[in-house]
Structure 1
Amino acid sequence: MSSPVKIDVPAHEIVADFLKKNAAKIQQQQFVALKVNDRILDLKTVFEETKQVELIPLQSKEGLHILRHSSAHLMAQAVTQLFPGTMLTIGPTIENGFYYDFDSNHTFSPADFEAIEQRMTELARADIQVKRREVSRLKAIEYYKTEQQDPYKLELLEEFTDETVSFYDQGDFTDLCRGPHLPATSFIRFFKLLNVAGAYWRGDERNKMLQRIYGTAFSDKKALRQYLHNLEEAKKRDHRKLGRDLELFSIEQEFGSGLPLWHPKGALVRTIMEDFWKREHLKNGYQMVMTPHIAKVDLWKKSGHWDFYRENMYSPIKVEAQDFVIKPMNCPGHVKIYQSKLRSYREFPLRWAELGTVYRFERSGVLHGLTRVRGFTQDDAHVFCRPDQLHDEIIKVIDFVLFILRTFGFSEYDVYLSTKPEKSVGSDEHWELATEALREALEYTKLDYEIDPGEGVFYGPKIDLKIKDALQRAWQCSTIQVDFNLPQRFDMTYIGEDGKEHRPIMIHRALMGSVERFFAILIEHYNGALPSWLAPVQVIILSIADRHLPYARELQAHLKSNDIRVEIDERNEKINYKIREAQVQKIPYMIILGDQEVQDKNIALRHRKQGDLGKMSLDNFLNKLLTEIKEKSIM
C-alpha cells in the first residue's frame, strides 16, 4: 500500500486543479481524495484558507474504500439504465468489495452480470465527472417524494438530523450519499460482479425482500486476478464440504439448523485442541471452572444482557413456575463463583477459564457451517484483578493470545481497539480508563493496531485480533475486553490491604473465539490437511498383500503404544488406489509394506505433500513423528 503525501493547498482553489498544475512536483501517484484532521474529502474540495492536506492514493486502504464505494454507484447507474424502474436503497463497501440493494421487478441472476459489467465498463471509459452538491434535507425529501417516488431514500432522510445532505451526480445518475467519491468514473477499471442474494431492507425480516448484488474492485489487474483466484480456492477449501468428505462433522436439519454434530474424527481433533488449551491455561496460572447451561432470567437482567442482548437470546422456559434462560454468555456464572466467598486482595489475580457452551438466536439466513451456529463453545476466561494489576494482566493475555495463534499456524493478524458503542452502560470515566488500559498495553507490546470506533461491547472496550489465513482472509477470533460494569452491577468487592472494600476489575477474553469457528478456520487454512499433531489419523499402514498384515498389526501396536493415531487399510485393493485414498483423506504419513519391508523389518514411508521419503526403520520414523508432535510442527 502507498502512503499519503502531504501538500499545502492555496485558498479558493479546487484541490484537483492544483494537483494538475503541480503534477511535476508531486510524487507520481494516482490520488483520489484528501484527508484533513482525519476527515476524508473529495479532491474537488475548495478551502477558504491555505490548508495542509494528506493526499490519498488509489492504492491505499482509504483509496480502495473510495474506489469500491464509487464502484457500487457505478453498478447502480448501470443497473438503473439496463432495468428501468429499479429503485435504489443502499450501496456500502464491505471487506474486499461492495454491494448494492435493489428493489426491482426484474429477478437478477449471474446471467445478468455480463451485461451489467459491460455497461459499467462503458460508463467508466466515458470518464464521467463525479460531482458533489449539497441541498437542504427538506428539498431532498421533496425530490424523492415527487421526482423519484423512492420510499427507501425517504425513510433514510426522515432519520437524518443535519439540515443539509449531499448528492453525488455522474451524468444522468444521482444518488444520496455522504461520500467521498472518485473524481471521475475512469478511475474504475478493474472490477468484477460476484453474486446475488436476497436481503431484507435494513436487515429486518419484517421488511420487503430486496436483491443484493455483490462485487469487488481493485486498483490493478494483478490484485483483482489474485482475489478472484483466492475466491475459487476458497470454494475448494470450504469447511462444510471438507467436513463432510473427511467425516468430521455434519449439520442435520432434523436435529436443527446451526447445531453441529461432531463425528468421531472431528470430535477427536476437537478433543486434541481442547486438551492442549487446558494444559496451556494451567501452565499460565488459570484455574478451570464450569457453569450450568441455563440460569434464571433475573440473573440476565442484573447482568444487563436482558436489556442489551435480548434479541440474541432464546425465549425463557418455565421451570416450576420460574423463568429460566439458556445462557448466551458464561461471564455471569463466573461472577457468581467469585461471590461465593469473601475475597482478599492477596488472592488476586484470579484467572478462571471455561470451555463453556453457549446458545444464541441466529437467524437462519446467516447460519454458515461452523462459522455461524446457534450453539457453540467459547474458549472463555475471566481475569479478576486489582487496578494496579490491570496493565500487566492485559499484556499477559496478549502474549497468551499470540502464543496460541502461532501454535496453530497463524502468524499474520490485524489488531483493532474497539471503542464505546452508541448503546452502552457505565460511566464515561470507566470507559476512558478501560480504553486507555487497552491502548497502553498495545503500545507496550508494540503491536500495530487500528481504532475501530463504536465497535466495543455494551459493557466495555475491547481488543480484537483478526487472523489471516492461507488465502489472506481475515477472521475475527481473539478478543480482550476490560469491564468495570459487571463488577459494579453485581456489587463485587474484595478486602484491600487497608481493610476496606474495593471493586475488582474484570477482563473478559477468548483466545480462539469459539471452538467451532476456529475449527472451521483451521480446516480452510490447511485445506483439510491438518498438521500431524492435530490430524485425527496421523499414520496409515498400507499393505500390498494380505500376507503383510501380521507385520502391519505389529507396527500398529508399537505406534499405538507411543500414543500415535494409526490405522491399517486392510482392504483387498491395489496399493496405488490405497495411496490415493489416503491422500484424499489428508493423512500425514503412509507406511507402505511389501515383501522387502517385512523381510528387512523396516518401512517404506510416504508423506502426503513430500511424496516418497524412502526406507527407514520404524524407530527412526517414530522419533521423527514424535518430534513433530512435541514441537507442534505445522508442515
Structure 2
Amino acid sequence: MYDHRKLGRELGLFDSDPLIGAGLPYWLPAGAAVRHALESYIAEVERRAGYQQVYSPVLGKRELYEISGHWAKYHEDMYPPMDMGGEQLVLRPSICPHHALMYRSRSHSYRELPLRFSELGGQYRAELSGAIGGLNRVRAMQLNDAHIFCRLDQVAAEAEGALRLINQAYADMGISASRYVLALPSEDADFNSPSSKYVGDAASWAQAAGLLRDVLKNAGIDYEDAPGDAAFYGPKIDIQMMDSAGREFSLSTIQIDFHQPAAFDLEYVGADGNKHRPVMVHRAIVGSIERAVAQLIEVHGGAFPAWLAPVQLVVLPISDDEDKVAVEVARRASDRGLRVEVAHADEGSLGARIRENRLAPYQAVIGAREAAAGLVAVRQRDGQQLAAAEIGMALDELRDSCQPPALRSQCVSAGAGSRSRSVPR
C-alpha cells in the first residue's frame, strides 16, 4: 500500500499549513475533483435508494447536546462552547441531533416511514495533537451521514439495505474491508449507574445488538464482537479498513438507536391511531470523505477508477499542427462531463507526455491522419490501444465508461423498506 500522506501531497490532492492548523487539511484542485466525484456519486446512490437530502447548521446550542446525551458522554471530544449573546454555541460532533429535530418539526404517519434523511455535512472533533495526521484523523471532517426513522419492524430491512449500499460503494471504489466488527458495550456495563458511559437500558441494548447480529448473519458476513466500542447510545456495525502502516480504522458504520428518539420525544401516528416511538438507524456509506479518499490513495496509488480520477482523459496532439484539433476534442469531452486536459506538443515528446500522464484512465492521441479524418485513437491506462474512432462516438463511449458501475443500472435499492414513490423504476 502507499502512504496517502506522502503520495497525496506529491499528486497535488491535498496539503496543510501551520497557519490553518494541525488536523485541518485543505483540498487542492485535483483532490477537490476526486472529492466532488465521490460526493456526487453517494448523493445519487442515496437518491435512487429513497433518501431525502437535507442541510443543517454546523453549530448548535449546548442544550441540544445535553438532550442528545453528547454533552454528558462525549464532551471531552467536543470543542468548548462559544458564548454568544447569552447562549452557548458548540461546533457539532455529530449530525444526528439536528436530524432528530428535523423529524420532530413535522407530524408523521406510519405510512411515511421509513423516512430517510441524508446529509454530507461537517463534524468537528477536538482530537489531540498526537493523534492527528493526514486525512485519516482530522479535526474537521465531511461525513456522508444519514438517519432513518422507522418502525421497529422495519429496522432490520433498513440496516440490511444500508449494508448493501456500503458493499456496492466499496466495489465501485475498488476497496475492501479488512474486517467487520459488532461494537458492543463493555461486558461489565451498568446501565443503571449515573456514571455509566452508556445511556438507555440493558433490554433495549440487547434488542439492538440482536438486530445487528441478524443483519450480519443474513448477509453471510463473518464478524467479530468488540466489547466496549459501542457508541454511547447504541451498538453498531463498524466496517474496518487498514492503512499503509497497518493501523486499523473505521470507515463505514450502521447503528441502531433507541435513545435519541426518546430523548427528543419523537413520535409517529400508527395504524391504530395512537402515537408510537420510531427507531433511529444511523448509517454512513463511505464514512468521512477524508478517510475515504485516504484509503483510495493508499489502495490505488493515484491510479483511481475512471469515475474518480482527477483527470479522466488527456488529449495528446503529436505535433503543433494538431493542437487546434486537440483543444476542440477537449472542449467536446468537457461538454460531456469528462474531466479533461490537453498535453500540448511543446510540453515534450509524445512518449514523455504519455509517461507524465500515465495515471489518467484514458489518453487520446491525435496525429495528422486522425485530425484530417475527425478521429481519435484512445489509449487505456494499462497500455491497451483501442481502434481509432469518430470523435463524437469515442467520447460518448468514454463518458459511459467513466460512470460508476452502480449508477449504470436503473435502480439502487435501499432494502425491503424502500417506498416505490421514492425509488425510480
Aligned counterpart for 1:606 among listed residues 379, 395, 399: 379
Aligned counterpart for 2:148 among listed residues 383, 386, 397: 383
| TM score, norm. by length of structure 2 | 0.87
Aligned counterpart for 1:574 among listed residues 346, 349, 358: 349
Confirm or deny: 8 A CA contact 2:312 2:402 kept in the other structure: no
CA distance in 2, matches of 1:597, 1:542: 12
Deviation per CA, 1:273-323: give whole Å up to 9, x if none: 111111111111111111111111111111111111111100111111211
Q: 1:603 to 1:322 in 2, by over 3 A?
A: same
CA distance in 2, matches of 1:283, 1:469: 31
Q: Spell out the pairing of 1:364-383 with structure 2 (5 A cutoff).
A: 364-383=129-148
Q: Spell out the pairing of 1:199-238 with structure 2 (5 A cutoff).
A: 234=1, 237-238=2-3
CA distance in 2, matches of 1:331, 1:356: 11
CA distance in 1, matches of 2:242, 2:64: 37
Confirm or deny: 8 A CA contact 1:378 1:515 kept in the other structure: yes
Confirm or deny: 8 A CA contact 1:471 1:525 kept in the other structure: no
CA distance in 2, matches of 1:294, 1:273: 25
Give the superposition deviation at 1:413: 4.5
1:53 match: none
Confirm or deny: 8 A CA contact 2:131 2:137 kept in the other structure: yes
1:489 and 2:254 correspond: no
Confirm or deny: 8 A CA contact 1:459 1:486 kept in the other structure: yes
2:183 match: 418
Confirm or deny: 8 A CA contact 2:319 2:345 kept in the other structure: no
Q: 1:412 to 1:262 in 2, by over 3 A?
A: closer
Q: Spell out the pairing of 1:305-454 with structure 2 (5 A cutoff).
A: 305-421=70-186, 422=189, 423-454=197-228
Instruction: Please say which of residues 303-312 and 497-506 is displaced more in the overlay.
Output: 497-506
1:538 match: 312
Deviation per CA, 1:95-115: give whole Å up to 9, x if none: xxxxxxxxxxxxxxxxxxxxx
Gaps of 5+ in 2: 190-196, 407-425
2:55 match: 290
Aligned counterpart for 1:591 among listed residues 364, 370, 375: 364
Give the superposition deviation at 1:617: 4.0
1:618 and 2:391 correspond: yes
Of the two structures, which has the highest relative contact order with CA contacts closer than 8 Å and spacing of 6 or more? 2
Q: Spell out the pairing of 1:122-271 with structure 2 (5 A cutoff).
A: 234=1, 237-271=2-36
CA distance in 2, matches of 1:370, 1:393: 30
Q: 1:620 to 1:469 in 2, by over 3 A?
A: farther
Give the superposition deviation at 1:495: 2.2
CA distance in 2, matches of 1:326, 1:521: 26
CA distance in 2, matches of 1:387, 1:544: 64
Equivalent pairs counted in the alignment come to: 396
Give the superposition deviation at 1:619: 4.4
Q: 1:282 to 1:605 in 2, by over 3 A?
A: closer
Deviation per CA, 1:565-598: give whole Å up to 9, x if none: 2111226222222222212xx2122222333332
CA distance in 1, matches of 2:132, 2:391: 46
2:414 match: none
Confirm or deny: 8 A CA contact 1:410 1:468 kept in the other structure: no
Give the superposition deviation at 1:469: 8.0
Residue identity opposite 2:350 in structure 1: I
Give the superposition deviation at 1:485: 0.9
What percentage of residue pairs aligned between the two structures are identical? 39
2:37 match: 272
Aligned counterpart for 2:322 among listed residues 530, 543, 548: 548
1:23 match: none
2:413 match: none
1:503 and 2:277 correspond: yes
1:520 match: 294
Residue identity opposite 1:578 in structure 2: R
Q: 1:620 to 1:444 in 2, by over 3 A?
A: same
| TM score, norm. by length of structure 1 | 0.59
User: What SS does the corresponding residue of 2:356 show, helix, strand or coil?
Assistant: helix
1:13 match: none
User: What SS does the corresponding residue of 2:60 show, helix, strand or coil?
Assistant: strand
CA distance in 2, matches of 1:446, 1:369: 34
CA distance in 2, matches of 1:302, 1:628: 48
CA distance in 1, matches of 2:327, 2:109: 58
Give the superposition deviation at 1:601: 3.3
User: What SS does the corresponding residue of 1:630 show, helix, strand or coil?
Assistant: coil
CA distance in 1, matches of 2:355, 2:91: 46
2:192 match: none
Q: 1:461 to 1:611 in 2, by over 3 A?
A: same
Residue identity opposite 2:279 in structure 1: I
Give the superposition deviation at 1:407: 1.6
Q: 1:412 to 1:424 in 2, by over 3 A?
A: closer
User: What SS does the corresponding residue of 1:415 show, helix, strand or coil?
Assistant: strand
Q: Spell out the pairing of 1:19-168 with structure 2 (5 A cutoff).
A: none
CA distance in 1, matches of 2:291, 2:181: 19
2:338 match: 564
User: What SS does the corresponding residue of 1:441 show, helix, strand or coil?
Assistant: helix
In our comparison, the structure showing a higher alpha carbon Rg is 1
CA distance in 1, matches of 2:319, 2:25: 39
Confirm or deny: 8 A CA contact 1:355 1:380 kept in the other structure: yes
Q: 1:408 to 1:471 in 2, by over 3 A?
A: farther
Gaps of 5+ in 1: 1-233
Confirm or deny: 8 A CA contact 1:470 1:526 kept in the other structure: no
Q: 1:463 to 1:285 in 2, by over 3 A?
A: same
Instruction: Please say which of residues 473-482 and 378-387 is displaced more in the overlay.
Output: 473-482
Give the superposition deviation at 1:623: 4.4
Q: 1:437 to 1:582 in 2, by over 3 A?
A: same
Give the superposition deviation at 1:631: 5.2
Q: 1:392 to 1:561 in 2, by over 3 A?
A: same
Give the superposition deviation at 1:605: 3.1
CA distance in 1, matches of 2:246, 2:365: 36
Confirm or deny: 8 A CA contact 2:123 2:142 kept in the other structure: yes
Confirm or deny: 8 A CA contact 1:410 1:469 kept in the other structure: no
User: What SS does the corresponding residue of 1:425 show, helix, strand or coil?
Assistant: coil
